[in-house]
């Protein structure tokens, strides 16, 4: 039987006891007794925005791209890919439990081999040390790996940065893991809290799972430097942590996907050196291809050896089958067409993505220039990367923006800058200046 830190024999007896205790936890006898769940904070912002009659209202809540007119877009390369599919697609059959093999290979080559630029990633692929499964976007991949770790990994503790995407904690808890925060951001300084980040990781038990944001940290937009990553990865080695990397925004830091994954390159090198023999990556094309509703993503697990890969792939299939049987195919087929050399769409998509990120950076700069700096330091806005700015505004100030100016954002002061454009940046800056002044 394959044995490693990653896989451990399931404790069937204990699992049975856990299931029995769940079934005895005083369930509701009638549907009328089911308590009302609180609304999702981010989606609730969108609902409130829709119901607001103020013509100047601004939605800065949901992290989905909008153009300079405030409208959602479809990448032209995606449209072209769909035209090709319309002409050439001959069936809508189920794909495999782990998804399309072609899609899996594209993900491996795109991320780990960097399309031929990363020798360490290529070595892992050649050695059959990467197991990739197509999933239901990034959230689906997070849930799959969380369930997998709950079943097979030696520790249920997962360390997540404070703050992090709110759904991280919900996904991990529902899968049976035990999330605990590690220091990441100092709100009083609007900057990374790197010294305490290292101390808090060093204080945790060996073999814990640790969640890392590959780039464009959500919600702060503050990423570690290459030198800081080296220090964190040394701690991970010393503590024998299992790294779980979430990469929802590849390309949104620099506009160039290959430049945004230095952390992945560092991890593939350490995997080849057997210093961090195993890690996992959750990835999505929702943002960088605009395939939000297509739910197109993947989970990749880097394993110690080819035999381990066989065991892990078999268990992934066994786990996925009773959840959703197999992933949707339309989004993955779009990805396959774009990466097909015959379509010629890959350079076009990369150029489109670069322009999208360029607009976001221009808007970030314009907002910064229009903000009053006489009684508040806004320099952190220019250090942050990606789709968000972490303003440092208090919940009371955010609420005042909503009540008095119809500006909708999350209570932690995270703004989705894709909701800002040339038509509303003056109004937004003035609203913020008034709130800060008062």
> Active-site residue numbers?
165, 246, 287
Question: For the chain, how many residues are written?
Answer: 438
Beta carbons of 191 and 242 less than 8 angstroms apart: no
Question: What Cα–Cα distance (Å) separates residue 392 from each residue in 9, 269, 368, 384, 406?
Answer: 46, 36, 13, 12, 19
Query: Quick count: other Cβ atoms within 10 Å of Cβ 232?
Result: 20
Contacts of 215 (CB under 8 A, 6+ apart): 223, 247, 249, 250, 252, 253, 260, 261, 263, 385, 386
Question: At 267, is the secondary structure helix, strand, or coil?
Answer: helix
Beta carbons of 300 and 283 less than 8 angstroms apart: yes
Query: Quick count: other Cβ atoms within 10 Å of Cβ 256?
Result: 13
CA angle 248, 251, 255 (to 5 degrees): 150
3-state helix, strand, coil in the chain (%, to 5): 50, 15, 40
Rounded to 10°, the helix 76-88/330-339 angle is: 100
- Secondary structure letter of residue 8 according to DSSP: -
């Amino acid at each position: 039987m394959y044995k490693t830190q990653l896989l451990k024999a399931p404790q069937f007896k204990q699992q049975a006891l856990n299931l029995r205790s769940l079934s005895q936890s005083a369930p509701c006898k009638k549907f009328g007794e089911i308590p009302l769940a609180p609304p999702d904070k981010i989606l609730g912002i969108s609902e409130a925005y829709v119901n607001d009659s103020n013509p100047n209202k601004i939605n800065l809540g949901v992290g989905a791209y909008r153009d300079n007119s405030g409208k959602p877009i479809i990448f032209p390369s995606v449209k072209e890919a769909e035209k090709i599919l319309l002409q050439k697609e001959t069936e809508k059959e189920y794909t495999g439990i782990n998804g399309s093999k072609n899609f899996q290979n594209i993900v491996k080559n795109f991320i780990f081999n960097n399309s031929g630029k990363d020798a360490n990633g290529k070595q892992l692929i050649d050695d059959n040390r990467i197991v990739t499964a197509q999933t239901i976007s990034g959230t689906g991949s997070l849930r799959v790996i969380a369930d997998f770790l709950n079943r097979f990994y030696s520790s249920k503790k997962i360390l997540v940065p404070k703050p992090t995407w709110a759904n991280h904690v919900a996904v991990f808890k529902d899968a049976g893991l035990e999330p605990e925060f590690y220091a990441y951001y100092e709100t009083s300084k609007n900057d990374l809290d790197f010294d305490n980040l290292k101390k808090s990781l060093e204080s945790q038990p060996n073999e814990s799972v640790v969640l890392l944001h590959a780039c464009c940290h959500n919600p702060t937009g503050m990423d570690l430097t290459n030198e800081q990553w080296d220090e964190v990865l040394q701690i991970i080695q010393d503590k024998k942590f299992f790294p779980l990397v979430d990469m929802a925004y590849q390309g949104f830091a620099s506009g160039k996907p290959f430049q945004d994954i230095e952390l992945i390159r560092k991890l593939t090198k350490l995997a080849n050196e057997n210093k961090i023999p195993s890690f996992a990556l959750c990835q999505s094309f929702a943002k960088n291809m605009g395939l939000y509703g297509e739910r197109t993503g993947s989970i990749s697990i880097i394993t110690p050896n080819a035999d381990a890969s066989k065991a892990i792939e078999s268990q992934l299939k066994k786990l996925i089958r009773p959840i959703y049987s197999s992933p949707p195919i339309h989004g993955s087929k779009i990805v396959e067409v774009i990466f097909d050399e015959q379509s010629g769409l890959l350079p076009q998509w990369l150029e489109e993505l670069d322009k999208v990120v360029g607009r976001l950076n221009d808007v970030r700069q314009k907002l910064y220039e229009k903000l009053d700096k006489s009684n508040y330091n806004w320099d952190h806005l220019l250090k942050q990367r990606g789709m968000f700015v972490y303003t440092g505004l208090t919940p009371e100030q955010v609420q005042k923006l909503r009540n008095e100016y119809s500006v909708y954002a999350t209570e932690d002061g995270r703004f989705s800058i894709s909701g800002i454009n040339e038509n509303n940046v003056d109004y937004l800056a003035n609203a913020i200046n008034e709130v800060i002044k008062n």
